[in-house]
A and B are shown apart, each in its own frame.
Chain A
Amino acid sequence: MRGAPGLGGIHPSQADYFQSVKGGGHGDYRLIVLAPSSVQELIDHTILAFELAETYRTPVVVFGDAMMGQMMEPVLMPEAELPPPNRPWATTGMEGREPNIVHTLYLPADKLEAHCNRLFAKYREIEQKEKRSIKKKWDCRIKRSA
């Protein structure tokens, strides 16, 4: 986050974080936003971000502000063991199946509404299962080497 509207200066600011948490574009979507509060969390959240993105097929923002970028701390480098990705929807070539199409455009209003409702059901599930806060010790589900 930068101070000031428009281009933004080079000073760190925490005035608001709508750019990340409210999404952009034409709306109708949410992002998962992870806000690390230490250098260790910068590393851990980066790994978690990939895990969450794979699980929910949703973009994840690791929201480190300028203060974080200027900190130095000793860290433990975890050896992440992410499960192999399962992406039956991916556009990898249609060998042995029907074509996969990845797009966001639905011209008929009812189809678009149904699509948005599917997305919002997913966002509700994420809200229920994945909320984390600094008060509750963050639970990393990724295996670590000691």
Chain B
Amino acid sequence: MLLYKAWLESRLRFLVGLAAVIGVCVLYIRVRLILVPDWIAELQNPKWSGRPTWLFLGVHDLNFYAWHFLFENKLQQVWVLFAILLSFGGLAREREQGTSAFSLSLPVSRSRWLMTRMLVATAESFVLGLAAALAVLLASWSIHERCPLSQVIAHCLLIVTAGVVFLALGAVFSTLIRGELMALPITLVLLGSPYLVFQEYIRQAAPSTWVHRVDISHVMAGPPHLTLATTPWLGLAVSILLAIGLLFAAAKIGGSIEY
């Protein structure tokens, strides 16, 4: 019943998230029909010298196109936003709504409340990832191109698995900061500001530099062609361990809060 309650509380956010990830995937695949003819024209124009390196690959390889626009970029951002949103709630929200006294009158420990919510948020985030994969595949068929099934699924799984740290961060911030209206913007500013400050440096840095090793966005995207050998295992392990540590911190903080 705790799972059922957590689902009832998060289902609206989940459904909006589902619409958002499907929307962004379908939009970017369908817009390829408009972009590719323009890019071909640009590639054939001998006067234009400032072609980005990805343009040729983007025209000829749908897998690279999907990676460049979705897995490394928009889908990842939308997924992270909703992963944080889905991790918000629980006793911290109930404290604001006044229902925490009822919840805490039930024979359920505070850590069990937290873990149940995180379990549901993780499952929902996983479904968002799978829905994104399905949307990419269906949208690519709709434009009469094929995106390799294994690559799409592998990239979506990588986003979800490496991104588990954002779920845990959401749990910590929503426990620490009273009121979700405050917690969400603070979380997004704290997570987003390093990217805003360092984005140029990150973009120009070589893949082997330290910045890519600590850049969670880079880990979530992986390389354009994902294999067992090219999967960022170390980054994945660090993200998962960090998520476990953050969840313990959230449980510790939540245990000391007075309701």
* Binding between chains A and B: no
Name A's B-contacting residues (CB within 8 A).
none
